[in-house]
């Protein structure tokens, strides 16, 4: 393909190649960034806050990632920081559960995690996009080791209750056939001149060539059973050695079923920017990030403080809280400024003295319901029997998906998978069940994807219902277009001496990156306010 732009101007690629050759990769990266490529979220580096007035006090409410990062950056800038946390742990929604942990949910149900040593489930965040530059920056700075998270696995299952007789199909078989049949149809339409009014003659050849290669079509532009298609969708009998080593091609799914099944939705899913390769997870559990942040600011945090009121006036901020370390005795903490990261379902019910606009914003953003389930099995049957190493199988049943661990491959002994992860109606439904009912439903539905092993190899499991979690009373922020238009700026803009942070105060809602970016915005605003005051 010619690589020149119109009127002899260099194309972007040519320009970048020249810059790269001349100035090396650092300059190339710089240039790519300024030309709009290689960009992550809106993060360009940690804030540089200088000249804080000595002795200026900041009270941070909440020791999740947003609160701990705000505390870290503010202390670095010279502020005197104190953090109050409701729970008996820091980390917030950055949490992992291991054997011996206990979950008590609203309504009183208590579960004890029975996983074997070394196993864990991440009931909150579990994967990190490569372009969440803010979070990745601090993982690097705080020495938190990451490993790849396998999002897309071509050998995982796709299941629809109403397609393919209710049997799961392999992702690679489905995607190969979907691409192949689509390419075949498009090629046919071109050859029959059905697209002549929209596709110019000069484009025909390129399109045909692309369809042929992309869809694995034969010379007659047909998608059919054979070696060519099996090289993508897999063989009936795999290639081997010896006298009987010849591979046997696999049969195709029926085109009508492929199109009707709706399973292509899961092909599109992995293509979203947020789900694209490479994704990461911390080695050892997501809470390694919370622990890494805690190492930076542990000396500033007081656990078990239940905030009930946030007041402010011309001179400062006053926060009332129950000191649960001392029988709930009511105390007051004073500061010059406050960074509040309390989740909105809780904050909206506290006595908070902010402007009517911020108050309305706090009331305007509900939290979604979400449920996750961690199931431990006696062995990695998905690896040993089915060659599934990490990744996700999807189903149209309420559990929505099964995700296999992206670590510990090929090891022996018990392992934990994500046996269900839902939002929306299914999450409301599962949250309303007892833990035992949730587990039974997870096994009944998971069994459809793994009929031979699911019940037999199951050892123990837990469920985590975010709307029944006392310290968040929901999973994460749920913005409507109307609320975003009316309330977003008021929620995120410092109100006299109080500024809010947390994923809810960002456009990267429900991701840890939202917490990071909102904390940086909050401390920057606070510093400007303090400098001007």
Partner 1 sequence: MMMRRTVFAGVMAAMLPLVAGVAAHADTASGFSGPVQPLNSGEAVYQHVCQGCHMPDGRGAMGAGARFPAFADNPKLQSSAYPVYVVLNGYGGMPWLGGILNDQQIAEVVNYIRTHFGNHYTDAITARDVATQRPPHTPEEE
Binders in 364-403 for partner 1, by CB under 8 A: 366-370, 392, 394-401
Stretch 224-283 residues interacting with partner 1 (CB under 8 A): 262, 265, 269, 272, 274-275
Smallest separation, CB 398 to partner 1 (Å): 4
State the angle between helix axes of 287-297 and 65-77 in degrees (0 to 180), rounded to the nearest 10: 30
Stretch 51-90 residues interacting with partner 1 (CB under 8 A): 86
What is the rounded distance in angstroms from the CA atom of residue 19 to the CA atom of residue 30? 10
Stretch (H or E) spanning 423: strand 415-423
The region of 169-177, 224-232, 281-289, 345-353 touching partner 1 under the rule CB under 8 A is 345-353
> 3-state secondary structure string, 90-129?
CECCCCCEECCCEEECCCCCEEECCCCCCCEECCCCCCEE
Smallest separation, CB 425 to partner 1 (Å): 4
Q: Closest CB to partner 1 among 20 and 148?
A: 148
Stretch 94-123 residues interacting with partner 1 (CB under 8 A): 106-107
Smallest separation, CB 349 to partner 1 (Å): 4
Residue 431 Cα to chain centre, angstroms: 20
Q: Closest CB to partner 1 among 119 and 348?
A: 348
CA-to-CA dists, residue 462 to 126, 272, 287, 407, angstroms: 16, 30, 17, 20
The string over 98-121, giving b where at least 16 C-beta atoms fall within 10 Å of a residue's C-beta and e elsewhere, is bbebebebeeebebebebeebbbb
Smallest separation, CB 526 to partner 1 (Å): 24
Q: Closest CB to partner 1 among 79 and 149?
A: 149
Smallest separation, CB 201 to partner 1 (Å): 35
Residue 226 Cα to chain centre, angstroms: 39
What is the rounded distance in angstroms from the CA atom of residue 262 to the CA atom of residue 258? 8
Sign of CA dihedral 67, 62, 292, 283: negative
Residue 307 touches partner 1, criterion: CB under 8 A: yes
Residue 501 contacts residue 519 (beta carbons within 8 Å): yes
Binding mask 134-153 for partner 1 (x = CB under 8 A): --------------------
Smallest separation, CB 508 to partner 1 (Å): 6
What is the rounded distance in angstroms from the CA atom of residue 257 to the CA atom of residue 234? 19
206, two tokens: 């390129």
Q: Which of 168, 215, 345, 446 binds partner 1 (CB under 8 A)?
A: 345
The region of 180-188, 201-209, 404-412, 502-510 touching partner 1 under the rule CB under 8 A is 502-510
3-state secondary structure of 412: coil
Q: Which of 182, 348, 453, 521 binds partner 1 (CB under 8 A)?
A: 348
Stretch 424-483 residues interacting with partner 1 (CB under 8 A): 424-432, 465, 467-471, 473-474, 476, 478-482
Smallest separation, CB 63 to partner 1 (Å): 13
């Amino acid at each position: 393909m010619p690589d020149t732009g119109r009127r002899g101007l260099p194309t972007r690629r040519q320009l970048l190649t020249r810059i790269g050759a001349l100035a090396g990769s650092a300059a190339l990266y710089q240039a790519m960034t300024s030309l709009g490529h290689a960009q992550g979220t809106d993060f360009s580096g940690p804030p540089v806050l200088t000249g804080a007035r000595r002795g200026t006090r900041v009270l941070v409410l909440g020791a999740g990632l947003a609160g701990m990062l705000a505390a870290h950056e503010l202390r670095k800038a010279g502020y005197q920081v104190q953090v109050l946390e409701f729970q008996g742990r820091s980390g917030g929604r950055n949490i992992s559960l291991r054997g011996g942990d206990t979950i008590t949910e609203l309504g009183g149900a208590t579960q004890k995690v029975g996983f074997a040593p070394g196993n864990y489930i991440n009931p909150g965040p579990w994967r990190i996009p490569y372009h969440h530059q803010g979070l990745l920056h601090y993982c690097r700075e705080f020495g938190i080791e990451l490993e790849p998270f396998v999002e897309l696995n071509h050998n995982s299952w796709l299941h629809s209750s109403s397609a393919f007789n209710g049997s799961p199909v392999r992702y690679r078989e489905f995607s190969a056939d979907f691409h192949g049949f689509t390419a075949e149809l498009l090629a046919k339409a071109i050859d029959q001149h059905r697209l002549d009014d929209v596709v110019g003659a000069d484009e025909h050849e390129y399109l045909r060539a692309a369809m042929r290669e992309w869809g694995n079509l034969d010379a007659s532009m047909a998608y059919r059973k054979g070696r060519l298609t099996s090289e993508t969708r897999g063989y009936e009998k795999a290639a081997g050695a010896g006298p009987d080593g010849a591979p046997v091609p696999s049969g195709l799914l029926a085109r009508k079923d492929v199109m009707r099944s709706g399973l292509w939705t899961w092909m599109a899913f992995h293509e979203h920017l947020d789900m694209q390769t490479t994704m990461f997870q911390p080695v050892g559990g997501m809470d390694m990030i919370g622990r890494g942040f805690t190492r930076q600011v542990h000396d500033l945090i007081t656990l078990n403080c239940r905030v009930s009121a946030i007041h402010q006036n011309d001179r400062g901020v006053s926060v009332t809280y129950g000191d649960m370390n001392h029988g709930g005795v009511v105390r007051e903490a004073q500061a010059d400024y406050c960074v509040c990261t309390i989740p909105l379902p809780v904050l909206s019910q506290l006595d908070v003295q902010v402007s009517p606009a911020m108050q309305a914003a706090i009331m305007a953003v509900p939290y979604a319901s979400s449920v996750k389930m961690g199931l431990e099995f006696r062995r990695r049957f998905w690896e040993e029997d089915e060659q599934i190493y990490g990744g996700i199988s999807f189903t149209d049943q309420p559990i929505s998906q099964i995700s296999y661990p992206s670590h510990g491959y090929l090891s022996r002994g018990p392992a934990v998978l994500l046996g269900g992860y839902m939002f929306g109606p299914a999450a409301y439904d599962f949250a309303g069940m007892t833990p035992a009912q949730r587990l039974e439903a997870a096994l009944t539905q998971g069994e459809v994807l793994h009929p031979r092993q699911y019940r037999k190899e199951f050892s123990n499991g837990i469920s985590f219902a975010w709307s029944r979690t006392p310290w968040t009373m929901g999973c994460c922020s749920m913005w409507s277009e109307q609320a975003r238009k009316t309330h977003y700026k008021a929620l995120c803009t410092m109100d006299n001496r109080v500024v809010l942070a947390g994923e809810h105060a960002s456009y990267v809602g429900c991701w840890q990156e939202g917490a990071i970016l909102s904390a940086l915005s909050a401390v920057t605003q606070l510093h400007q306010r303090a400098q001007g005051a």
